[in-house]
Amino acid sequence: MIIQLDPNDDRYKRVAELVSEIFGIPSCYDWMYGNGGDSAQKMIVDVDDNNGDIRGFCVWSFTFYSTHIMQFATVEKYRRQGVGTRLLDWMKNVFFDTPLTLHVSVRNDDAIRLYKKAGFYSVDTLYNYYEDKKEGIYTGEGRNAYLMICNPIADIEDRL
Ligand SMILES: CC(C)(COP(=O)(O)OP(=O)(O)OC[C@H]1O[C@@H](n2cnc3c(N)ncnc32)[C@H](O)[C@@H]1OP(=O)(O)O)[C@@H](O)C(=O)NCCC(=O)NCCS
C-alpha cells in the first residue's frame, strides 16, 4: 500500500534513517523536515499491509519546471518485487501533467534500468555531480550523474 506521509508522522523520521543507511550519508532528517508543514520534503512510502514495514520510499520537491525526485530506494530485502515500479507509478499518476525529473549516478545500472522501464530517459550528464554531496557510495566515474526526465502526459497524449 502506498501512503503519503505527513511530516509529523513517526515514519517520516524512519525514512530519513533509511536514506542514511542505504546511501551511507549522515542523517538528513533536518534537511528533509525543514520547518515542517509545507516546507518539509514531500514523501510517499510503500508499506507492507501485514506488518507495517516500510518497503520503499520516494521523496520529492517541486521545482519551477518539474516534480523532482530527491531520494528514492527500496529496502534491500524487498527489492525486485515491484516496489520501485509501484512508487514511480504513483508519482506518474498523481503528477501526470508535470515532468518528473531525477539524478542518478551513471554507474547505478539497476536504478537506470528501473527508471528507463518506467518511461524516464536521460537528457544530460552532469559531471562530478555527487562530488560535494557526501554521497558515500559514489566514487570515480560514478560521481557523474544523468539528469533523467519522464513526461507522463506525453504518454497519455500518445495514446489518444
Ligand atoms: C534501484 C532500486 C530502487 C530498484 O527498486 P526495486 O523495488 O527493486 O525495483 P522493481 O522491483 O520495481 O524493478 C523494476 C525493474 O527494474 C530493473 N531492476 C531493478 N533492480 C534490478 C537489479 N538489481 N538488476 C537488474 N535489473 C533491475 C528490472 O528491469 C526490474 O524488472 P524485473 O524485476 O521485472 O526484471 C533498488 O535496487 C534500490 O533501492 N537500490 C539502492 C538505492 C538506489 O540506488 N536508489 C536510486 C537512487 S537514484
Distance CA 56, CA 69 (A): 14
- What pLDDT, in 10s, does the model give residues 45-74? 999 999 999 999 999 999 999 999 999 999
H or E stretch covering 17 = helix 10-23
Would you say the C-alpha torsion 65, 12, 129, 111 has a positive or negative sign? negative
- Supply the CATH classification number for the domain 2-159: 3.40.630.30
Can you give the pTM of this predicted structure? 0.94
Distance CA 48, CA 115 (A): 23
What is the total residue count of the chain? 160
Any idea where the domains of the chain sit in the sequence? 2-159
> What are the CA-CA distances from residue 20 to residues 28, 29, 72, 123, 134 (Å)?
7, 9, 12, 28, 11
Cell digits of residue 78: 524487498
- What pLDDT, in 10s, does the model give residues 10-53? 999 999 999 999 988 877 899 899 998 889 999 999 999 999 99
Q: pLDDT averaged over the chain?
A: 91
Q: Of all protein residues, whose CA lies closest to atom 23 belonging to ligand 1? A: 110
Counting from 1 in the atom list of ligand 1, the atom nearest the Cα of 108 is: 44
Query: What 8-state DSSP symbol labels residue 129?
Result: T
The β-bridge partners of 104 are 146
Tell me the CA–centroid distance for residue 36 and ligand 1, in Å: 31
User: Which residues does ligand 1 sit against, CB inside 6 Å?
Assistant: 22, 56, 72-74, 79-85, 104, 108, 110-111, 113-114, 117
- What pLDDT, in 10s, does the model give residues 100-139? 999 999 999 999 999 999 999 999 999 988 876 555 556 6
